[in-house]
Structure 1
Amino acid sequence: METAMHSFLVSLPQAAALWVVILGAVLLAAAMIARTQQPSVPAAVTDNLRFADEVAIAADRAATTAARRRAEWATAQERLDAAWLAYDVADRSAREAAKAAAFPLISKRRKPDENRARQRYLHHAASAACRNQDLSIAQLNDVFAHRGWNPRLHPVVQESLLRQAVRAHRFDEYQMALDAERASWQEAESAADALRSLRLEAAAAVTRAAAGEPVSDERWFADQWTTAELPAAA
């Protein structure tokens, strides 16, 4: 009896170790079976998700570009408004001077230095207008070279002609500001269209990934080209 009990106690640790090994093997086999039974992510889903991430990055860059273009357009609008106000002021001033010059001038014998005084007045008035950016450098050169300008005219007539020249200069500036504003608006619209296109493409890629639809090679390379080029072009 004691021998049997002794044998049982001696073999008990070995049996326990054997059961632990068997249990570990069973658990390992169960884990491997469960792992093999897990569904794998289709390659089409992975490709679409990766493509959606790339398009999302491009969309973020396009959003920055669109915001910058819109800010530039707002600045161009402000310059256009300022140019129009300057032209409006010059136009009213030219009309007032034209009304004053419409009155007949008294014809009398001129003093010996009167022609030179009139010329100095014309040059001084034109220089002051150019310093105030009311006349262009080209217009000032015409005044000093007397191209289209008669320095012997009465100062009232000269003032009227100067204000007409100022009006012409302000109108040219308004036209340039208008062209710049239109070009800036076109750039802002192009940037906004690119942003909308990229966002739609990113959403479509996520939808295709959810549906498990593959991306064709032609579409993939076309979209890759668009994703890489749009931010750089902006």
Structure 2
Amino acid sequence: MDIVLYQFLTEVPLAAAIWSVLLVLALTALAVLVARPERDRPAAVEPPARPAAPPAPAAADLRRYAEEVAVAAAGAAQNARRRRAAWTAAQDAAERAWQAYDEAETAARRFRDAGALPTPHTPRTPAEYAARERWLHHAATAAHLRGELSIGQLCDVFARRGGWDPRLHPVEQEVVLARAVRDGRLARYRAAAARERAAWGDAELAAGAARALAAEAYAAAERARPAHAPTTSATASGRVLGITGWRPPRPAPAR
């Protein structure tokens, strides 16, 4: 009995000391975990990095583009000048055609007024008709040499078609000839006026293209210019010859 009591008295304090040590270790570990909980937490997911912005165009590329646009603008300006010159020539040709038609209209009106008088009486003989035909051929040939009748109209005279009658009196034939000259000049004026309108449209398109390229060339030059370089006036860089002074074709009088 004494042995059992001795063992109890000697082993219980030892067990108590061991449990005390274990308890202290457990409390220490718990305190460490409470103080630094991030060790047990999963790492935060970082957002993906944004792609880098594309690099700005190189100065050499900007200069090269500005040079190319400048060359194109110079070519467009030259083309606009050529178109303007062509339109000016077409306008002069239309003006000359109008003046020629106006002269022919005045002559045809004069002959028309003269035709109101009675036709001179001549004997209707084969010799008279032959003389009338010779006069018509001579007058038509002279008008063709002056540029008043086309080769087709002259062929109609000799072939007696298209309203040409060699049996008419020379007074009546002059009226027919004057009308033919007037109609031919009217057709030439209308063709010249159509060419003038077409040349005007081409000149306007060329001028618009030249102005647009000049503006783009100036903008490209400004982008390629260094920051410390002085700027120039946009008007001086983008100056293009404009199309001015256009005159609408004269309306031909109704027949």
- TM-score, normalising length: structure 1: 0.69
Give 4+ residue runs of structure 1 displaced > 4 Å after superposition.
Answer: none
Equivalent residues in 2 for 1:189-228, closer than 5 Å: 189-209=204-224
How far apart, in 1, do the equivalents of 2:86 and 2:139 lie?
A: 36
Structure 2 partner of 1:102: 116
Structure 1 partner of 2:66: 52
How far apart, in 2, do the equivalents of 1:112 and 1:139 lie?
A: 25
Task: Give the RMSD, CA atoms, in angstroms.
Answer: 2.0
SS class of match (1:43): coil
Q: CA deviation at 1:206?
A: 2.8
Q: Which residue among 27, 30, 43 is the counterpart of 2:57?
A: 43
Q: Which amino acid aligns with 2:204?
A: E
Q: Which residue among 186, 193, 209 is the counterpart of 1:178?
A: 193
CA contact (8 A) 1:44 1:209 kept: no
Matched, 1:157 2:172: yes
Matched, 1:129 2:143: yes
CA contact (8 A) 1:83 1:174 kept: yes
Structure 2 partner of 1:86: 100
Q: Which amino acid aligns with 1:53?
A: E
- TM-score, normalising length: structure 2: 0.63
Q: Tell me, which stretches of 5 or more residues in structure 1 are unaligned?
A: 1-40, 213-234
Equivalent residues in 2 for 1:134-153, closer than 5 Å: 134-147=148-161, 148-153=163-168
SS class of match (1:110): coil
Q: CA deviation at 1:79?
A: 0.6
How far apart, in 1, do the equivalents of 2:120 and 2:207 lie?
A: 65
How far apart, in 2, do the equivalents of 1:77 and 1:155 lie?
A: 38
CA contact (8 A) 1:45 1:209 kept: yes
How far apart, in 1, do the equivalents of 2:134 and 2:144 lie?
A: 15
Q: Which amino acid aligns with 2:154?
A: L
Q: CA deviation at 1:123?
A: 0.7
Q: Name the count of aligned residue pairs.
A: 172
Percent sequence identity over aligned pairs: 51
How far apart, in 1, do the equivalents of 2:151 and 2:101 lie?
A: 18
Higher relative contact order (CA 8 A, sep 6+): 1
Q: CA deviation at 1:124?
A: 0.7
1:126-180 Cα deviation digits (max 9, x unpaired): 0100111101111111111000211110000000100000000000110111011
Structure with higher Rg: it is 2
